[in-house]
Amino acid sequence: MKVYISGKITGTSLPETLLKFEKATQGFLELGYQPINPMQLPHHQHDGAWENYMRLDIKHLMDCNAIYMLQGWHESKGATLEYSLALQLGMLVLFEL
């Protein structure tokens, strides 16, 4: 199963954010799932605008069976958009405790 990891990125400490997303990635790998970590996507191929980050992220979300919402996701415009889209598409939604 492919699981997209979603959470607040903009306005957060980069080292802390990388660690949170990597921890989730490793946890899903250990369970035998295929995690999609947006922090590891090839964002260097666009101009760095928020909208272009989201376009690439949503393309990858669409290939997943589930979305995993990291704590604090509700404070993020992008994660809120990803959550809403996943709900509308009937994807499995998982939450970090």
Full pLDDT tens readout for the chain, 97 residues: 999 999 999 888 989 999 999 999 999 999 999 999 999 998 777 787 889 999 999 999 999 999 999 999 999 999 999 999 999 999 999 999 9
Q: What is the pLDDT of residue 45?
A: 75
Going from N- to C-terminal start, the domains of the chain cover 19-24+35-78+86-92
User: Angle at the Cα of 9 (from 25 to 66), degrees rounded to 5?
Assistant: 45
Residue length of the chain? 97
pTM for the model:
0.94
Judging by beta carbons within 10 Å of its beta carbon (0-12, 13-18, 19+), is residue 38 exposed, middle or buried?
A: buried
Q: What is the pLDDT of residue 29?
A: 98
Q: What is the pLDDT of residue 92?
A: 98
Q: What is the pLDDT of residue 48?
A: 78
